[in-house]
Homo-oligomer: A and B are copies of this chain.
Amino acid sequence: MLLDERVDTAPRRRRARGSLSRHEILDAALHVVETRGLRLLSMPTLARQLGSGATSIYKYFPSKEALVEALATQVVQDIRQRLPPIGVRKWDVELFGYFSSFRELLATHRAYLELVAYGPAAFVHLALTEDARRRLDDGLDLLATAGLDRRAAIEAFTACLNYTRGFVLLASRATVPGRPGSAWDADLRIIDVFDADQFSHGLRLLIAGIRAEAT
């Protein structure tokens, strides 16, 4: 569906009248974000990808900001569909597995990282769909089996969610490959590492805290 960017000097052909669409534009934008990053997504870049004029995009999106927000919404929905459902094991095992999967999914999805780190301010709120609501209800049911009342369950689930999303966001802002390491001792440098182990330690503490609160 995606056209390669044109490198030849011949003038491109005019696109047929009904050939452009919101879907194709979002597809091309996603491709640019995944391969080059959000900061290299410009209307001219995107137009070259589409083989169209940059101004044609404005028939489908009122502004670049609106386009990026539509893209972000799509990416968030796509990620939620890939998230495995909560299973039937003991609540603490399921909770740990659920948020570990969530973190890994986010951390390996370049478009998500680009959009959450540099994208629209509203990004954090995009999750508020009915599908997200269903996932939340599943999480609350799970925490009910741990003995938490509704209010405590909401607070606990929110804490895990905030920890996970915040961790991924921090990590995405911390990935600077060419950076010299700090001068700290080897065992202290861990404080600035954002790998899966580091994430797991914190998540385990949260779950231990929930367990303590439940009993």
Q: Residues on A close to B: CB < 8 A?
A: 116, 118, 121-125, 127-128, 133, 136, 150-151, 154-159, 161-163, 165-167, 169-170, 173-176, 179, 182-184, 187-188, 190-192, 194, 198, 201-202, 204-213
Contact = CB atoms under 8 A, between A and B. Distances in A.
Given A133-B184, A163-B166, A187-B150, A124 B173 contact: yes
Given A136-B191, A173-B169, A201 B150 contact: no
Contact of A191 (B122, B157, B167): B157
Contacts of A208: 208-210, 212-213
A122 B181 CA distance: 12
A64 B213 CA distance: 49
Copies of this subunit: 2
Contacts of A176: 121-122, 125
Given A208-B212, A212-B212, 17 more contacts: A123-B173, A125-B174, A127-B192, A128-B182, A151-B187, A155-B205, A156-B201, A159-B201, A161-B191, A163-B163, A165-B166, A169-B169, A169-B173, A204-B209, A205-B209, A208-B210, A209-B210
Given A122-B179, A125-B176, A167-B162, A136 B201 contact: no
Binding site of A, secondary structure by majority: helix, strand, loop or mixed?
helix
A213 B205 CA distance: 8
A23 to B, nearest CB: 25
Contacts of A133: 184, 188
A128 B159 contact: no
A213 B202 CA distance: 12
Contacts of A175: 121
A212 B157 CA distance: 19
Pairs of residues from A and B, 10 with the lowest C-beta to C-beta distance, nearest first: A166-B166, A159-B202, A205-B209, A209-B209, A208-B209, A124-B174, A128-B182, A155-B201, A208-B212, A122-B176
Contacts of A212: 208-209, 211-212
